[in-house]
Amino acid sequence: MGYLTNAALLRRRVQELEPDLVHAHYVSGYGTLATLLAPHPLVLSVWGSDIYEFPSTSPLHAWLIRRNLRKADLILSTSQAMAHRTRCFTNQEIRITPFGST
């Protein structure tokens, strides 16, 4: 509920700042909040429980994940395995951003 109650305040802040993009981490909570703001471009990063657990809670939760991913301009995942799981909810491209670099 906290995500929803803070939506108006965050909307005003985003309008003041006029960011070049909005990047939300976790497709469930922060992703929902970000999609309520409807910014573009919108980047969503999946992190684990938002893709593996949250959508399994109920059909409504799964619908919300699909909805949020559909509204993203770019989807990021830190692993191929998590990207594979995310593809259960979207046909959009998912870019891999692994931890660290060599």
Q: Which of 23, 71, 13 is nearest to 47 (CA)?
A: 23
Tell me how far apart the alpha carbons of residues 46 and 81 are, in angstroms, rounded to a whole number: 11
Per-residue pLDDT tens digits for 9-63:
888 888 899 999 999 999 999 999 999 888 899 999 999 999 999 999 999 999 9
Provide the 3-class DSSP secondary structure of residue 75. strand
pTM: 0.88
Cα dihedral: 29, 40, 22, 1 (round 10):
-20
Confidence at residue 88, expressed as pLDDT on a 0 to 100 scale: 97
State both tokens at 95: 């870019």
State both tokens at 82: 């998590």
| Cis preceding-peptide flag for 41 (omega within 30 of 0) | yes
Per-residue pLDDT tens digits for 25-40:
999 999 999 998 888 9
Question: What class is the 2-96 domain?
Answer: alpha beta
Per-residue pLDDT tens digits for 80-99:
999 999 999 999 999 999 88
* Count of helix runs (H) and strand runs (E) in the chain: 6, 4
Confidence at residue 101, expressed as pLDDT on a 0 to 100 scale: 61
Enumerate residues 6+ apart whose C-beta is below 8 A from 101: none
